[in-house]
Structure 1
Amino acid sequence: QSIYISHVNKRTTYTDPRLAFAVDVIESRKVSVRQRFDASSTTDQVLMGSDLTGKVAIVTGANSGIGFETARALACHGARVVLACRDLEKANNAISDIKSSRDDVKVIAIQLDLCSLQSIQNFADDFLKLKWPLHILVLNAGVFMLPWQLTEDGIERTFAANHVGHFRLTQLLRDVLLRSAPARVVVVSSESHRFPSVVEEAMNLDKLSPSENNFRGMAQYNRTKLCNVLFSNELHRRMAGLGVTCNSLHPGNMVYTSISDSSYLFKFFFFLARPFTKSLKQAAACSVFVATAPELEGIGGLYFNNCFRCEPSEPASDPTAATRLWTITEDLINDRLAKTETNKS
């Protein structure tokens, strides 16, 4: 009689637990693949039997919520993980929590404020000084229903945190991703990307960074989630041939995290929905799947929900809009950096 022992939790069984996720079906000399995971799958199930030793990952917004669970799952399966967080105290507390799950994890924190171009530059500099490769970049951090406010660089805050900051971070880490290829970029978007109905939403800077009088928190969140999918598709188009793939995903509906803290009304709604929505381990499962699934090696430009590919909205699939958004974002960043240099001189 055979005994199987999990290398993660040391649990012993008399049946091979991996058989629950066997997927290869041979039919008439053809191999077809069915869906391995679904909405109820957890990070532990997605990574069962996986050994990520030697992999290096960065997860933004990893001190709590879905980002924390993503970082924990990757670290507990052997990856070296960098928690990229605005609040270092919270990030260090998160590291302690991860180590309580498994004390031999390799996890560090580096300060990152996605609403500051200087902070993003500092983060990239600090990471590059480590001289580590980068195999997995999870662009997870996000804000929701913030009131109108400009960042220190003069960019509307929701647009900066949800799109511009991640765009700039990826720019600065581009070379290390290429040196580490094959590498993956994972962009956490939302089904909310479907609400903007025309591509003009992603091709007009006045819409993307509205004035205070024209600002609507929910509409702005939806636009930035559309930007996430467009950015992911365009990034994949530009880098796939160089060994770096990119996919976007929806983690789950109204998952109870700190993202709703900025609105008492939505925090109440999220609380009411809590018994009917995904747990953090279920919500992070899609991020972990897209970051590690062997069947996605070399595959990108896709959108995932419940650990399975689905079609994004029509505007999100528009390559012209994706290219236009890339240009708008690049020009905006260059303009703000130039103004900063001018002010210094």
Structure 2
Amino acid sequence: MMNLPESDSEDELPPGWEERVTGDGSVYYANHLTKNTQWTHPRTGKKKVVLGDLPYGWERCIDKSTGKVLYIDHENHRTTYTDPRLAFAVEEKEHINDFRQRFDASSTALHVLHGRDLTNTTALITGANTGIGFETARSLLKHGCKVIFGCRNVRAAEEAIEKIRQEKSTAAENCEALHLDLTSLKSVVTFANVVKVKYKVLNAVILNAGVFGLPYSKTEDGYETTFQVNHLSHFYLTLLLYPLLKTGSRIIVISSESHRFANLTLDTICPSILSPDSPAKYWDMMAYNNSKLCNILFAKQLAKNWQSHGISVFSLHPGNMVSTNLARNWWLYRLLFAVVRPFTKSLQQAASTNVFCATASELNGLSGLYFNNCCRCETSKEAKNDELAKKLWDISVDMVKNAIGPNAFGELTLIEDIF
């Protein structure tokens, strides 16, 4: 007769065992039957560690009468001797690129953040007043993070903040709406300067804002709107914010699986292809696809340029045809998005990969990766092209200088290893 395991989970401890945590976060196992302890899990043989601070609202104290460590949950008014981080312990990596997938397409942003305390961290999110950006901001705020809303419509951003405040009153104290118009590189400069005056450190920059299905138009800088909003302005903004980034900061670039249908190649990429000079050379869908390929190529080159500074860069696909206002620019796209709505992710699910890439401890020390459904994925062949990434970088620098002037990047150009 087959011997069945005592539990459906290999991680569940056998009878008589207890999981504990040392002061430095290492997990060990105590056997109350034999009075022995060991570092490896008695079922899996793996070692585990707990990472980061205690969950939001928890405090570590010492019981004066017994000398034992106590953990107090101030929000739920309860006390325990068990470190709450044990619920989120992770296996020690044998290699930095090894990590177990903990989430999937059904996971929500709040699920990803469960048990996390993001107090004393600051995130900047473009387009945070609506859609996936709003759900990303809302989820981070609920876990104590400060969030800067970079939005073209400040009034809409303030209304979004008020919605969050009604759910969690303290959240409104941790966020601010600042004007950012991605159709204007001058607005990008003004926004970056304001942020640098008001804030000392950015732990995460989430480049979320984007447009889709626009009819042909040009920005005040003379560039095609989809290309500038989705790529060029975010490219410029990220470089301008470099002084606020530190070791451990993360840049999250929202791309799309649409990048696989782009027509950019090393032979064809040039300013006139990236930013067509007439409607005759423009197709809204291809403009979007190309901008999403630019997002990944930018993240790839940025990760390479900033690898020695301990700044991580990730790109990602949030979900297919998620119910946002991205399709607002043409009735046919609005109809198509409405038809597929029952079969796509919710906004909370779409925001999960954003917050995973911005906060997941298993990504510490990693950079230059592309994610879908909180899982590392391979990009298209062109997105892997180092020469194409470098060429896009150089073209983007020249386009910004042509619009702003030769000193567009100021002292950043003197820091050779980041530029």
> Counterparts in 2 of 1:1-345, with a 5 A limit?
7=57, 23-24=90-91, 33-105=99-171, 106-177=174-245, 180-200=246-266, 203-210=269-276, 211-338=278-405
Instruction: Using the TM superposition, name which of 100-109 and 331-340 deviates more.
Output: 331-340
**Displacement, 1:25?**
8.5
2:319 match: secondary structure = coil
User: Structure 1's 21 and 201: CA in aligned 2 closer, same or farther, altered over 3 A?
Assistant: farther
Report the CA distance between 1:175 and its aligned residue. 1.5
- 1:333/1:202 CA distance change after superposition, 3 Å: farther
Which deviations, in whole Å up to 9, do the C-alpha atoms of 1:169-227 show, x marking residues without a partner? 011101211xx322000000000000025524872221110122110000000000000
Distance 2:135 2:268 in 1: 31
Q: CA deviation at 1:23?
A: 4.9
Q: Output the CA distance in 1 between the equivalents of 2:208 and 2:281.
A: 27
Question: Structure 1 or 2: larger helix share?
Answer: 1
SS of residue matched to 1:199: coil
- d(CA) in 2 for partners of 1:16, 1:256: 39
Match of 2:105, as an amino acid?
Answer: A
Alignment CA distance shift 1:288-1:202 (3 Å): farther
Looking at structure 2, the residues matched to 167 and 26 of structure 1 have their Cα atoms a distance apart, in angstroms, of 33
In structure 2, distance between residues paired with 1:157 and 1:268: 23
**Structure 1 residue runs without a partner (length 5+):** none
Partners of 1:26 and 1:174 in 2: CA distance: 30
CA-CA distance at 1:76 after TM superposition: 1.0
Separation in 2, partners of 1:118, 1:267: 31
Deviation at 1:21, TM superposition (A): 6.0
Q: Do the aligned partners of residues 176 and 22 (structure 1) sit closer, same or farther apart at CA in structure 2, a change above 3 Å counting?
A: closer
**Structure 1 position 22, deviation (Å):** 5.8
Alpha carbon RMSD of aligned pairs, Å?
A: 2.7
- Distance in 2, matches of 1:176 and 1:26, equals 30
How has the CA–CA distance of structure 1 residues 54 and 18 changed in structure 2, closer, same or farther, with 3 Å as cutoff?
closer
Stretches of structure 2 that go unaligned for 5 or more consecutive residues are 1-54, 59-73, 409-419
Larger radius of gyration: 2
SS of 2:217's partner is coil
> After the TM superposition, which of the residue ranges 131-140 and 331-340 deviates more from structure 2?
331-340
Contact 2:300 2:368 in 1 (8 A): yes
1:80 aligned partner, one-letter code: K
Identity, in percent, stands at 46
Cα distance per residue 1:281-333 (max 9 Å; x no partner): 00000000000000111211010000000000010011110000000000001
Secondary structure of the structure 1 residue equivalent to 2:405: helix
Give the CA deviation at 1:131.
Answer: 3.5
SS of equivalent residue, structure 2 residue 170 = coil
Q: Report the CA distance shift for 1:176/1:53 in structure 2 as closer, same or farther (over 3 A).
A: same
TM-score w.r.t. length of structure 2: 0.74
Query: TM-score normalized by structure 1?
Result: 0.90
**Cα deviations across residues 126-170 of structure 1 (Å, max 9, x unaligned)?**
111113211100000000010111101101000010000101101
* Cα displacement string for residues 36-90 of structure 1 (whole angstroms, at most 9, x for unaligned residues): 0000000111001101111111000000000001111111111111000000000
Question: Alpha-carbon deviation of 1:12?
Answer: 9.8
Structure number with the bigger relative contact order (C-alpha 8 A, sep ≥ 6) is: 1
Task: Tell whether the 8 Å contact from 1:240 to 1:298 is kept in structure 2 after alignment.
Answer: no
Decide whether aligned partners of structure 1 residues 340 and 101 sit closer, same or farther in structure 2, where only a CA change above 3 A counts.
same
On the 8 A contact 2:56/2:117 being kept in 1, the answer is no
Distance 1:306 1:197, change over 3 A: same
The one-letter amino acid of 2:131's match is G
- The letter of the residue matching 1:188 is I
8 A contact 1:201–1:208 mirrored in 2? no
Which amino acid is the alignment partner of residue 199 of structure 1? T
